[in-house]
Structure 1
Amino acid sequence: MKLALSKWFPVASISDLPYRHIFQGQLLGREYAIWKADDGNINIWENRCLHRGVRLSIGTNEGFELKCQYHGWRYANRTAGCTYIPAHPADAPARTICNNTYTCQEKYGMVWTCETPIGDVPDIKGFKSFTVLRPIPINSAYKNVRNFLSSKEIPDHHMLRSKQTEFWRFKTNAGNLLSLVIQPQSGNISILRGIYNLKTTGTEKLRVLKYYNSLMTKLRDEIESQHLPKLHERNPKISKLADDLSQFPTLSDQKHNLRVSVSEKVKLSDNIVKLKLKSIKKQLPTFHAGAHIDIVLQNGLIRQYSLTNGPGETDHYCIAVKIEKHGGGGSKIISENISVGDIMAISAPHNSFPLLRNSTHIIFLAGGIGITPMLSMAKAMHSMRQSFELHHFTKSNDKEAFSHDFASFTNKVITYNDLSINQSLTTIKSLLKKPKFSNKIYVCGPGEMIQNAIKIGLEFGWNESDIHYEYFKNENEIHKNSTFKIDLARSAMSLEVPSGKSVLQILKENGVNLVSSCEQGACGTCKVRVIEGKIDHQDVFLNSLEKEGQNIMLTCVSRAKSKRLILDI
């Protein structure tokens, strides 16, 4: 059994995977959902939805995602990570919700896999060109079929002895070759697959297929007529829930432990550069629309950039960077010093600006480079055929920078070039003047634009909870002159926060590795729940309702107005 688990076996023919189809395969008793994404990637997954165990093979192939037919859970191409749960449209699924995936190789017109592969699918001598034959199921165990082929003389064919025990090669009287391979579907069912060593077309292909279909069917009938004893059915090993998923996760420091190479660098405009990042070894983690990553630059700077990927674009991460001539140096390094082939350290995606899909319509307002998180959101909305409109306020020299990303939904995008502040305000007022039930606003861009959009929305009667925003930086002056005490309820620790240091700094100095990212009160990564105490909010992440609630704080900038805070850590 262990040897079988490390051997490559075919589980499907390439012809079983037409456009947006899902094929149900089986090997050694385990069922697979096998499907080809629109980018050509072939996925082999365990054939069950993680929710209720329904077969994914009866679901829908959306091109870059697989959708379960029962409750609509969606899983991403390559990673098999869950991207959407309809019952919780306002929540981004945890990255740990991920189906089991299996190694896949495409060779000789067939799809091959195994649970613990060693090496690659072996080469078959004499089969540089081939015709794939129709597979024949046999009601007999793999061992029985193998023994039969090893001793059977096939009419007009002579067996060629070989050290390869996975294949049975035969030479025809005409000098052509036939190779047979067995797929052990389950304990007592096998599938006999074959290839003919000439590439045939038209009537010749039809003749070859008919001939070998008849020949392989006769072999099946002869094997089944022997009434060989049945074997015990193989029960595939179903992985139990990992211990770390059945417990509350422990807090850990944000590590930049992913290594990627720059596979593409494109100047989208005079001021914007696009980077395409591909993993060196491991599959990149699943992301959700609105997510960003930390990038460690060559001089040690750490910068955050939103992912612009669409659904299922899981073999790479894409970011777009605006070159700031008077910025902190991050964009300048990317523009001048980063080249194709360079290795970079990044974090896994984290998302403090998630796309909530519990609305009937979304209005996206983007200012300048604030378009980046909304590109991913718009692509996700478009793929799910949900209603939205995207308004992009930009400079004329950048107006074509993202035209390629807009290509599939240009009818939903309106670009405004070189508007003055008053013109922009007038436009935003016209867009938000008629709030509707279950509609939402997403805004990202310069701080002043975000503040004005929120103000206008509230004046026209929008609920504050329906206005979502993301600042790229906190432009407010941060005061650090207070001194107070923090008690950690779950860690049984009491710590003093002196003037000049943040709560986050004190936590990390004392071994509490709270995850953080921007550390300026803009991204929300370091937020914690406050059980008791009065908070001095200095961030731009929480809205006014959340600040009034006095039960959440961003530890990187916010402080205490009271003498003590009790944190839920």
Structure 2
Amino acid sequence: MLAPTLKLRVASVSAPTSLIKSLTLEAEDDALLPGYEPGAHIQVEIPAADGGVAQWRSYSLINTDPQVDTRAGVRAYRLGVRRKDEGRGGSRFMHTLQAGATLTVRAPVNHFPLAAPPSVILIAGGIGITPMAAMAAELSRQNRDYSLHFSGRTRDALPFVEELRAVAGKRLVLHADDDNATRLSIDALLDGAEVNQPIYVCGPSGMIDAVLAAARQRGWHECDLHYELFSEVAPQDGDRTFEIELKSSGKVLTVPADKSVLDTLLDNGVDVMYDCRAGYCGLCSTPVASGDIEHRDTYLSDTDKAGGKVMQVCVSRCKSERLVLDL
């Protein structure tokens, strides 16, 4: 079920780095906004371009004030958006916004909840710091033990550092790829941690994959590994064109090698619910009437995948020539 929509205005815009904009959103009538838990995000409607259809982009909610319990409702939502010129236009649109602009957003949802163990490792890469800032503020509010490792290509590329230092103090550890003295070493970090100490990681897929692989190699249980991908899944080598048929109408659409089933459906006016675009939230689960699915998600169980009756259209593809979707 989709979250309800809200009409919000951009109250302020700042630029903590050359590539990142920070936006504060408020209700048009100054009403209290729905509360949220650390790790939550909102979806922002991105206007249609070139005659296409409007789409939605997800942005994590930032909080750096340990005195604020965001569950009780807030006066404003704060976002951090990194500009991606090679993307599909969402970040470029967000970077054009100025104070006074209005947006349609969906109320907060959370696919990346913070559990309640005694000691936590937070690892963020680049703009992946946005949900981690809220987690650090909540852990500080509860006087719980944690460390926050924040990595970027350069020290200047790391946003919100002074705010994070005010929240986390010595628990904040900064890493820069161009500095041998501070470059993030996942092996060193995990070698100094307790096995199965909960890990929360958000950032580029390469960093997430490396953290998960290193933790699994050291014996971490899957239940103690939590992650949120801060970019959409890229096409893979060997991806090829295939067809999808809509069972209700018999309409056949071609899915190019470099495009997802989800984007093909949206480009052709098919109304599909979606959120993460990375195969872990489950919102785009779509029944499949026939065809051989190449599952690439982390949401479905092995049993569901083997059954071949449902797929995550944001990431999964087709092993055969055609999939018939029950749409």
Give the TM-score range, shorter chain: 0.7 to 0.9
Partner of 2:106: 347
For 1:58-137, list aligned pairs within 5 A.
Answer: none
User: 1:292 and 1:436, CA in 2 relative to 1: closer, same or farther beyond 3 A?
Assistant: same
Structure 2 vs 1, CA of residues 510 and 295 (structure 1 numbering), >3 Å: closer, same or farther? Answer: closer
Q: Matched residues in 1 for 2:44 and 2:216: separation?
A: 36
1:485–1:437 Cα change, 3 Å? farther
Q: Please show how residues 486-501 of structure 1 align to structure 2 within 5 Å.
A: 499-500=254-255
Cα offsets for 1:187-221 (capped at 9, x unmatched):
xxxxxxxxxxxxxxxxxxxxxxxxxxxxxxxxxxx
In 2, the alpha carbon distance for the partners of 1:258 and 1:292 equals 14
TM-score, normalisation: structure 1: 0.45
The alpha carbon displacement at 1:565 in A equals 9.1
Matched, 1:468 2:216: no
Q: Hey, what does 1:521 align to over in structure 2?
A: 278
Which residue of structure 2 lines up, in the alignment, with residue 264 of structure 1? 12
Matched, 1:456 2:214: yes
Q: Is 2:69 the partner of 1:312? A: yes
How many residues are paired up? 301
Structure 2 vs 1, CA of residues 483 and 305 (structure 1 numbering), >3 Å: closer, same or farther?
A: closer
1:440 equivalent in structure 2: 198
Structure-to-structure mapping, 1:236-385, within 5 angstroms: 251=1, 257-281=5-29, 282-297=31-46, 302-309=56-63, 311-313=68-70, 314-335=74-95, 337-357=96-116, 359-385=117-143
Flag the structure with larger Rg.
1
Name 1:404's counterpart in structure 2.
Answer: 163
Change (3 A) 1:419 1:464: farther
- Checking the alignment, whether the CA contact within 8 Å between 1:352 and 1:525 is kept in structure 2 is no
CA distance in 2, matches of 1:409, 1:554: 37
Residues 498-556 of structure 1: per-residue CA shift (max 9 Å, x gap): 65283797799999x653125x33562525498999742234xx17xx56444574233
CA apart distance, 1:392: 0.3
Map 1:47-66 → 2, pairs under 5 A: none
CA, structure 1 residues 476+463, in 2 after alignment: closer, same or farther (shift >3 Å)? farther
Counterparts of 1:189-228 in structure 2 under 5 Å? Answer: none
Residue 484 of structure 1 contacts residue 560 of structure 1 at CA under 8 Å; is this kept in 2? no
CA deviation vs aligned residue, 1:101-157 (integer Å, no higher than 9, x gap):
xxxxxxxxxxxxxxxxxxxxxxxxxxxxxxxxxxxxxxxxxxxxxxxxxxxxxxxxx
> Would you say the 8 A contact 1:532–1:566 is kept in 2?
yes
User: Could you give the per-residue CA deviations for residues 285-311 of structure 1, whole angstroms, max 9, x where no partner exists?
Assistant: 222211111223456564321111265
Q: Find the residue that maps to 2:214 and give its secondary structure.
A: helix
Shift of 1:450: 1.2
Instruction: State the match for 2:242 in structure 1.
Output: 481
User: Are the structure 2 counterparts of residues 503 and 372 from structure 1 closer, same or farther at C-alpha, using a change threshold of 3 Å?
Assistant: closer
Distance across 2 between alignment mates of 1:528 and 1:301: 17
Write the letter of the residue equivalent to 1:524: C
1:222-244 per-residue CA deviation (whole Å, 9 max, x = no partner) reads: xxxxxxxxxxxxxxxxxxxxxxx
Residue 436 of structure 1 deviates from its aligned partner by 3.4
Task: Say whether residues 1:417 and 2:171 are aligned partners.
Answer: no
Amino acid at match of 2:81: V
- The one-letter code of the counterpart of 2:83 is I
8 Å Cα contact 2:62-2:134 kept in structure 1: yes
Contact 2:279 2:314 in 1 (8 A): no
Q: Secondary structure at the match of 2:234?
A: coil
CA distance in 2, matches of 1:483, 1:330: 26
Instruction: For 2:145 and 2:104, locate their aligned partners in 1 and report how far apart those are by CA, in whole Å.
Output: 37
Distance 1:360-1:408 versus aligned 2 partners, 3 A rule: same
SS of residue paired to 1:439: coil
Distance 1:286 1:270 in 2: 30
Q: Which moved more, 1:271-280 or 1:347-356?
A: 347-356
In 1, Cα distance between the equivalents of 2:55 and 2:189?
Answer: 39
Match of 1:23 in 2: none
How far, CA to CA, are the matches of 1:497 and 1:287 in structure 2? Answer: 41
Of 318-327 and 295-304, the range deviating more from structure 2: 295-304
Rounded to whole Å, the distance in 1 between the matches of 2:293 and 2:304 is 6
Q: Separation in 1 of the partners of 2:126 and 2:313?
A: 29
Q: CA deviation at 1:280?
A: 1.2
Point out which structure has higher relative CO (alpha carbons under 8 A, 6+ apart).
Answer: 2
User: Normalising by structure 2, what TM-score?
Assistant: 0.75
**Cα RMSD (Å):** 3.9
CA-CA distance at 1:469 after TM superposition: 1.4
Q: Residue 375 of structure 1 aligns to a residue in which SS? A: helix
Measured in 2, the distance between the counterparts of 1:537 and 1:401 equals: 37
Which stretch of structure 1 is more off in the superposition, 414-423 or 467-476?
Answer: 414-423
Indicate the SS of the match to 2:148.
Answer: strand
Identical aligned residues as a percent? 26
Query: Once the 2 structures are TM-superposed, how far is the Cα of residue 386 of structure 1 from its aligned partner?
Result: 2.1
* Bigger Cα displacement from structure 2, 558-567 vs 287-296: 558-567
Deviations 1:27-82 (A, max 9, x none): xxxxxxxxxxxxxxxxxxxxxxxxxxxxxxxxxxxxxxxxxxxxxxxxxxxxxxxx
The amino acid of 1:526's aligned partner reads L
5+ residue gaps, structure 2:
none
Return the alpha-carbon distance in structure 2 between the equivalents of residues 445 and 457 of structure 1.
16
